[in-house]
Amino acid sequence: MFSTSIPTPSSSVVELGPITIHAYALCIIAGVAIAIWSGNRRFLAAFPQARGIVSDVAVVAVPSGVIGGRIYHVISSPSQYFGANGEPLDALKIWQGGLGIWGAISLGAVGAFFTYRRLARSRELPEFRYFLDALAPGILFAQAIGRWGNWFNGELYGRPTDLPWALEIPRNLRTIDYREFETFHPTFLYESLWCLLLGLILIKFSPRLLAGQIFSIYIFGYCAGRLVFEALRIDEANLIFGIRINIFVTLIVGALAALSFRRFAKQAR
């Protein structure tokens, strides 16, 4: 019988002699490269004197984001590493997947802010919010690419479904309560497409927005989509009142982004 479902790759690594290349890592690296290229192009278009700033900031911001993302993931899903059958050392194996976006954005932004402020002392640079605005679409494209790393790892899928674009998950990768189901919502794909669309929208409407509002819309728009994707997911996560903790975090972050958007509008007036 012909099936239109999406298969999960049988392997997520490529062996080149003693070197093991993980598809998840390649997706993250490709996403970072796109974000830096896009951000640099947009920032230089507005501020030609800022040549080299994006790459200099990325040297600190990218590792900070990876560390922050991993810390958030481990804190929000501790049983996977410190539970009865958990392995604490697995918390260090980033290539197996598991980077919490809110931790990545938070710590990455902190690293970027202090690096940018240090560079601004010797360069005539605009406020930090202009820098964030330039990076926002590229970050979304990076997230869109990075989500395909979850596909290679057979993770980040949603509830069972028989839709034509359902994702086939091997039995050994299925959540315990759903072992008898074969196909699931490809939430990794939903999020990837949403990030791509949102990034294109930001690029189109950037000229009409005020400084700081582009990044605010990025956060708010991502939160709107993330609420839907998070509600579909069935992987293990900490719960509060029976609701995934990431939903509460997303609601709070989205509200802060909306307030920031309004604040920038008032400052302009």
Tell me the two tokens of residue 119: 């560079």
The answer to whether residue 3 scores a pLDDT higher than 60 is no
Banded model confidence at residue 109, pLDDT cuts 50, 70, 90: very high
- In this prediction, residue 25 carries a pLDDT of 87
Comparing CA positions, the residue from 72, 71, 57 lying closest to residue 111 is 57
pLDDT in tens, 124-150: 899 999 999 999 999 999 999 999 999
Contact status, residue 25 vs residue 149, Cβ threshold 8 Å: yes
pLDDT in tens, 172-191: 888 888 999 999 999 999 99
| Percent of the chain whose pLDDT exceeds 90 | 62
Contact status, residue 61 vs residue 115, Cβ threshold 8 Å: yes
**Range picked from 71-75, 98-102, 172-176, 210-214 for highest mean pLDDT:** 210-214
What's the rounded Cα separation, in Å, for the pair 232 and 227? 9
Instruction: Provide mean pLDDT across the span 188-199.
Output: 97
Distances (CA, A) of 51 to 57, 60, 101, 166: 12, 17, 28, 45
- In this prediction, residue 115 carries a pLDDT of 96
- In this prediction, residue 158 carries a pLDDT of 93
- In this prediction, residue 16 carries a pLDDT of 72
Q: Give residues with Cβ within 8 angstroms of 228, minimum separation 6.
A: 190
The answer to whether residue 1 scores a pLDDT higher than 60 is no
Instruction: Provide mean pLDDT across the span 95-109.
Output: 82
Among all chains, which residue has been given the structure tokens 């902190």?
110
In this structure, are strands 183-184 and 239-240 parallel, antiparallel, or unpaired? unpaired
pLDDT, greater one: 79 or 100: 100
Instruction: Provide mean pLDDT across the span 234-263.
Output: 88
Instruction: Provide mean pLDDT across the span 220-243.
Output: 88
Q: What is the mean pLDDT of the chain?
A: 89
How many other C-beta atoms lie within 10 A of the C-beta of residue 131? 25
The answer to whether residue 53 scores a pLDDT higher than 90 is yes
Helix (H, G, I), strand (E, B) or coil at 18: coil
Instruction: Provide mean pLDDT across the span 192-200.
Output: 97
Banded model confidence at residue 97, pLDDT cuts 50, 70, 90: low
Banded model confidence at residue 269, pLDDT cuts 50, 70, 90: low
Q: Give residues with Cβ within 8 angstroms of 201, minimum separation 6.
A: 221
Tell me the two tokens of residue 232: 């579909």
Question: Helix 128-153 and helix 187-205: axis angle, to 10°?
Answer: 160
Q: Which residues pair with 243 in a beta bridge?
A: 240
Between CA 245 and CA 118, with CA 146 as vertex, the angle to 5 degrees is 85
The answer to whether residue 103 scores a pLDDT higher than 80 is yes
Backbone angles phi, psi at 244, to 5 degrees: -55, 135
Comparing CA positions, the residue from 70, 65, 43 lying closest to residue 110 is 65
Q: Which residues pair with 6 in a beta bridge?
A: 167
Lowest mean pLDDT among 93-107, 170-184, 247-261: 93-107
Tell me the two tokens of residue 207: 């000229």
Backbone angles phi, psi at 135, to 5 degrees: -85, -25
- In this prediction, residue 236 carries a pLDDT of 74
- Burial class, 143, CB count within 10 angstroms (exposed 0-12 / middle 13-18 / buried 19+): buried
The answer to whether residue 91 scores a pLDDT higher than 80 is no
Comparing CA positions, the residue from 89, 38, 52 lying closest to residue 200 is 38
